[in-house]
């Protein structure tokens, strides 16, 4: 038997439709139009595509949406001045600075300037701390999307052993906290973990967020486990002729073909976790707008 495929698109579509309904209500009943500002520095093609999609989808949901495209040689001072303006702009309720920034820029002071209330990425120390403390927080979009898919697939997660591979601030750390809050037993694994395959084999829920194409092999997976693949890696085509022609495709951190034979359920790449990220971003922006405006 092959694994159940966890499709992200229909779940993301439903969440986006709910967001659009809530935006329409806020506009009609409170004259409040949630506003999202997205900032991109440089011309990385993948980041450009993500940012374009964030702008289009926020507009489609009826939100106020602005996108700032800055050249790759933008200075720290210029970026900080823009973020300071957006943080003070009453029409903007969410500010997202697309990561990674070019190497000469430091993201930490930029995230501090966004402030916790407009930090729709959940990257500000106050939101990270609130998440750990179990207080209402803006939580990073991709981990929230993963949790929605997990609960839709498995229902109650209590008592399950979740192994999170990767410890980034954007994915690994917040997803571990979310799973802990769902009463999972959580193991955090990373590049220095000893016997990573053995640790992964213990997982009822395996979350892969390492950024290494097809790193997690089929025999690292416990039969019947639920596998959430957060990786988005661009690799040459398997077919040598197409690869020679420079053709590339997107694969996850999990060897999908192998995993399909072992796992109970698995998110595909693309169209698994990916579509959830922007839908949750819109949801977070509405949440931020309501909190900033004091509207329930
Ligand atoms: N780059 C890749 N994913 C994300 C995300 O969720 N937020 C930001 N700011 N940058 C990203």
Q: What's the pLDDT at 227?
A: 99
Q: What's the pLDDT at 255?
A: 98
Q: What's the pLDDT at 189?
A: 98
Q: What are phi and psi for residue 280, nearest 5 degrees? A: -70, -35
Q: What's the pLDDT at 1?
A: 81
Cβ atoms 41, 74 nearer than 8 A: yes
Q: pTM here?
A: 0.96
Catalytic option among 54, 118, 160, 222: 54
| Atom 2 of ligand 1: nearest residue by CA position | 99
Using CA atoms, how far apart are residues 10 and 152, in angstroms rounded to an integer?
12
| Atom 11 of ligand 1: nearest residue by CA position | 99
Q: How far, in Å, is the centroid of ligand 1 from the Cα of 230?
A: 12
121 is catalytic: yes
Q: Is 53 exposed, middle or buried (0-12, 13-18, 19+ CB in 10 A)?
A: middle
Catalytic option among 57, 119, 121, 204: 121
Pocket of ligand 1 (CB under 6 A): 96-99, 121, 141-142, 170, 277
Q: How far, in Å, is the centroid of ligand 1 from the Cα of 33?
A: 23
204 is catalytic: no
Q: What are phi and psi for residue 251, nearest 5 degrees? A: -130, 165
| Count of C-beta atoms within a 10 Å radius of residue 14 | 13
Domains in the chain, CATH or no CATH each: 31-132 (3.40.50.10860), 141-276 (3.40.50.720)
Mean pLDDT, 10 residues at a time, the chain of 296 residues:
96 98 98 98 96 98 98 98 98 98 98 98 98 97 98 98 98 98 98 97 98 98 98 94 92 98 98 98 98 96
3-state secondary structure of 151: helix
Q: List, as one string, the DSSP characters of 192-245.
A: T-TTHHHHHTT-SEEEE-S--TT-B-GGGS-TT-EEEE---EEEE-SSHHHHHT
Residue 269 makes CB contacts below 8 A (sequence gap 6+) with 229, 231, 232, 250, 251, 252, 254, 256
């Amino acid at each position: 038997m092959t694994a159940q495929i966890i499709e992200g698109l229909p779940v993301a579509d439903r969440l986006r439709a709910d967001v659009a309904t809530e935006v329409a209500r806020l506009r009609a009943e409170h004259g409040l139009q949630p506003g999202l500002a997205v900032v991109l520095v440089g011309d990385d093609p993948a980041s450009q595509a993500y940012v374009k999609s964030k702008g289009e989808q926020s507009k489609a949901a009826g939100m106020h949406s602005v996108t700032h495209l800055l050249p790759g040689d933008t200075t720290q001072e210029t970026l900080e001045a823009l973020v300071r303006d957006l943080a003070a702009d009453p029409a903007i309720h969410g500010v997202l600075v697309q990561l990674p920034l070019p190497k000469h820029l430091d993201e930490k002071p930029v995230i501090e300037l966004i402030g916790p209330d407009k930090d729709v990425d959940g990257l500000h120390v106050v939101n990270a701390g609130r998440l750990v403390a179990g207080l209402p927080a803006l939580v990073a979009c991709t981990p929230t999307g993963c949790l929605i898919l997990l609960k839709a697939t498995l229902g109650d997660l209590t008592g399950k052993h979740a192994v999170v591979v990767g410890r980034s601030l954007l994915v690994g750390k917040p997803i571990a906290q979310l799973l802990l809050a769902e009463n999972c037993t959580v193991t955090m694994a990373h590049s220095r973990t000893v016997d990573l395959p053995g640790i992964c084999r213990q997982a009822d829920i395996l979350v892969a967020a390492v950024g290494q194409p097809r790193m997690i092999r089929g025999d690292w997976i416990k039969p019947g486990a639920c596998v959430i693949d957060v990786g988005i890696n661009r690799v040459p085509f398997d077919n040598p002729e197409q690869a020679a022609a420079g053709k590339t495709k997107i694969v996850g951190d999990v060897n999908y073909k192998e995993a399909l034979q072992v796992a109970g359920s698995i998110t595909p790449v693309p169209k698994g976790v990916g579509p959830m990220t922007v839908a949750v971003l819109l949801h977070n922006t509405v949440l931020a707008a309501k909190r900033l405006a004091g509207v329930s």
